[in-house]
Chains A and B, each alone.
Chain A
């Protein structure tokens, strides 16, 4: 009788172990799956045919951020070379904006705080009001937000250049509109760009849940080779 009981107990233990093991494998499996998530590549693409070693190879060319050359808050030139090999987040704002910018900046502070130890990450905030937002004003603004001005930079350029860059490079909109509070209309997107300067995601910079998603996607992008 006692022997039988012992046997049953043993069996129970074995079953319980196997259930635990299966659950564990399942969990590990799902973890692996989530880290293998690939972010989409946004924008136009063209197939380019090349002949390499006598063989026809079709290569996909993705749209990248067009050439830009702007000044940061410390009057340092910032261009495509500055962010080469790094991932970055871009946004468009103006310091006197009474509507969505303050909340965008509060959300960007969270992104900055999370990645500020990581030299593979850059944040570029572009002013769309270059007349009012002078370089000294941008420097003060950066300082007040607690940004170091190296990893999180505040960029200044001629209005035409910045607006074209917003629309053609980052799928964002920026325009002068006297009927809007503050005098400008612009989108509140945070645009995630990869190491090859391709846009990989656009997030609503006024939504905490969207910005949470951005930070998860940045981790995914950082692991990408």
Chain B
């Protein structure tokens, strides 16, 4: 009896772990994309470069403009922005070859790693944000 109860508990926990595990795989894919497309400028630690490239780490801009992130990554950024009180005007190049699914993984990685967010976006919601 005791063995059965233990097994049930283990299965229950495993089921609970399932959801975050899937998301972590998603984030890991985002990390690979980050290292290919973003790391040269925004750096491994997300701190950016001097006053040339804005930081992602603890950036108020990310928290305040969550819904814009997929668009910004896809189309680049050509106007001045202010991040944590510092104005940046370096153009960010577009990444228009990334698919909706890749953008989802990338945004989720950036949110998770640099904005400490655990509210991850679904691919559908990213597609919707991109159509806006």
Contact = CB atoms under 8 A, between A and B. Distances in A.
Interface of A: 95-96, 98-100, 102-103, 105-106, 109, 140-141, 143-146, 181-182
Interface in B40-55: 40-41, 43, 49-53
Contact of A144 (B40, B41, B52, B93): B52
B50 A109 contact: yes
Nearest to A132: B91
Interface of B: 40-41, 43, 49-53, 89-91, 93
A99 B40 contact: yes
B93 to A, nearest CB: 4
A217 to B, nearest CB: 24
Contact of A106 (B49, B89, B93): B49
Contacts of B93: 98, 181-182
Given A102-B49, A105-B52, 7 more contacts: A99-B40, A106-B43, A106-B49, A141-B52, A144-B52, A145-B50, A146-B51
A102 B53 contact: yes
15 contacts: A96-B90, A96-B91, A98-B40, A98-B41, A99-B40, A102-B41, A102-B52, A106-B49, A109-B49, A109-B50, A140-B89, A144-B50, A145-B51, A146-B51, A182-B93
Contacts of B51: 143-146
Contacts of B49: 102, 105-106, 109
Nearest to A106: B49
**The 3 nearest A-B residue pairs measured at CB:** A144-B51, A98-B93, A102-B41
